[in-house]
Structure 1
Amino acid sequence: MKIDRRRKIHEALKEAHNISINDLCDMFGVSKNTIRRDIADLQEKGIIEKVYGGIVLADPPVNAPEPFAFREGRNAEAKKLIGRLAADLVNDGDVIYIDSGTTTMHMVPYLLDKQRLTIVTASVHVINMAVTYTRLNVISTGGTFYAPSKAFIGPQAVECLRRYNVTKAFLASTGISIEHGATNTSPLECELKQSLMKKNCPHILLVDDSKFDHATLMSYCALKDLEYVVTNKRPSDAYLRYFDENDVRLIAPTQTIING
């Protein structure tokens, strides 16, 4: 699959200073024409630069978000598991917010047995998945399209969220830590998440195990402000103690609810 191959090219460049076109052809067993199309796409996205005989990583802007397609393919099975566990928290008649992210979007297929469910979202991926199921009522926030996250942002999106009585908010994060809480690489996305944290409803964070002990550009809430954290593996004892002390309920695959 070309998206997966391009993600792997990106990962390989993080390990090597540069890679030749011939090496890329050998690595993936594809033709030079195929690799040249991959290179053109990655160059257009500002991820790589062409040099004599091969390619190197481009110098990205400080704290630039990683392309959505690359994040989407990483830890895919763990994210699907988290989506299923989170969907178990949804009840008939709920009005839920599903955040933009490569984990939260995996909730959608597990919501089909819910009755009178309304999904509010800024995520284009969630919209595209949910509208294929006629039983799900979908409301888009609208706003300015933000390509790195395939989501809508800005004042229009924030104002839309103020109008709706959300019963549960399912949130995404690019990294979490006890010190910095839930973080994100985009200030504009953080503004939307911060407005959701003001809602009088349970706030449920969906993160795979690679996000723990990793803080990115901006914090949008402390972990103690969450009601649930849903993940694919039991975290370290430090997080277990923190969650227990702050009444945060942890959901992981080997246990239903660890705390609370």
Structure 2
Amino acid sequence: MNDSDRHRMITDLLRETPFASVRDLQERLGVSPATIRRDIDKLHEIGKARKVYGGISANEAGGATRLSAKPYDENRDIAVEAKRAIAELAAGLVRDGDSIIVHAGSTCYQLGIKLARRNVRLYTNSMPLAAYLGEHGSCHLTLAGGELYREPGIVHDPSGGVPSFFASRFFVGTQGISSDGLLESHPLLTKAIRELSECADEIILLADSRKLSIQPRNIVLPLSRIGTIVIDDGLSDTGAKMLEDAGITIMIATVGGQN
């Protein structure tokens, strides 16, 4: 297999998935990691894909400007009252003795704070939440293995696959919501959420109402995979109908006039 054949196979793969790790490509193409890294460098150089930490990511379709997720440190200070109200309501869905997964993100972080001293088994890939629970919590904590990605604040192993942790509920946030499903711009978040979604009986989405107006490019999960959404009282009638039509149970957190 020559360079051109490998480059074509990599770009074809990126039409199906937004991110591929060096290990993914090595196993698929049967070549060395050094060869894969040279291929990634070349595809990035000629503009066919983007070199990202741990692998390669698809470019924006049509050359559109990439809608980037805000770094965790910046996003945590947006719509804080709504996120706290959502977390308070979501915490009521957790029973003592439950095994749950709490994904990275600022709204899920607020939920983790509420559960810090509860009698639960909690798995998270959130470095900020793990640090908080390690210092202030008494719950049974399991932390995802892998490398630290500081921008989204997650610990993730791109080649690790589905974690060996099973939960009754997976609490997840999202960058955006549309009729197509949950949306993200960061390829590693897309991959991590898909993997964790296979580890739980039910997926519960925690999202403030702003998320229905944000439209990143990557479809992470279809709305049909979501059992319940906990959202603030800024949800519009149009947004509510879209969620109800998808069969999602809607729980409204009252924010006292602030979104």
TM-score, with length taken from structure 2: 0.68
Matches within 5 A, 1:101-180: 101-112=105-116, 114-115=118-119, 117-155=120-158, 158-159=161-162, 161=163, 163-178=164-179, 180=180
| Larger deviation, residues 243-252 vs 232-241 | 232-241
State the distance in 2 between where 1:63 and 1:242 align.
23
State the distance in 2 between where 1:157 and 1:183 align.
23
State the distance in 2 between where 1:92 and 1:157 align.
30
Do 1:185 and 1:217's aligned partners in 2 also have CA atoms closer than 8 Å? yes
Deviation of 1:156 after TM superposition, in Å, equals 5.5
Corresponding residue for residue 215 of structure 1: 215
SS of 1:62's equivalent? coil
Deviation of 1:103 after TM superposition, in Å, equals 0.8
Highest relative contact order (Cα 8 Å, sep 6+), 1 or 2?
A: 2
In structure 2, do the counterparts of structure 1 residues 197 and 110 end up closer, same or farther at CA, with 3 Å as the change threshold? same
TM-score, with length taken from structure 1: 0.68
State the distance in 2 between where 1:157 and 1:98 align.
18
- Supply the AA of the counterpart residue of 1:248: I
Do 1:141 and 1:157's aligned partners in 2 also have CA atoms closer than 8 Å? no
Deviation of 1:242 after TM superposition, in Å, equals 3.0
Do 2:116 and 2:137's aligned partners in 1 also have CA atoms closer than 8 Å? no
State the distance in 2 between where 1:72 and 1:234 align.
19
Matches within 5 A, 1:48-127: 62-112=66-116, 114-115=118-119, 117-127=120-130
Deviation of 1:66 after TM superposition, in Å, equals 2.0
Corresponding residue for residue 51 of structure 1: none
What do residues 149-180 of structure 1 show as CA deviations (whole Å, max 9, x unaligned)? 11112335544x2x1111110001111112x3
Do 2:171 and 2:204's aligned partners in 1 also have CA atoms closer than 8 Å? yes
- Supply the AA of the counterpart residue of 2:132: M
In structure 2, do the counterparts of structure 1 residues 99 and 188 end up closer, same or farther at CA, with 3 Å as the change threshold? same
What do residues 51-98 of structure 1 show as CA deviations (whole Å, max 9, x unaligned)? xxxxxxxxxx83443222111111111111111111111111111111
Matches within 5 A, 1:165-244: 165-178=166-179, 180-244=180-244
State the distance in 2 between where 1:199 and 1:236 align.
31
Q: Which runs of 5+ in 1 are unaligned?
A: 1-60, 255-260
| Larger deviation, residues 229-238 vs 102-111 | 229-238
**How many correspondences in the alignment?**
191
State the distance in 1 between where 2:188 and 2:113 align.
28
SS of 2:191's equivalent? helix
Percent sequence identity is 22
- Supply the AA of the counterpart residue of 2:167: V
Do 2:170 and 2:203's aligned partners in 1 also have CA atoms closer than 8 Å? yes
SS of 2:85's equivalent? helix
Q: Which runs of 5+ in 2 are unaligned?
A: 1-64, 255-259
SS of 1:243's equivalent? helix
Do 1:100 and 1:122's aligned partners in 2 also have CA atoms closer than 8 Å? yes
State the distance in 2 between where 1:118 and 1:200 align.
13
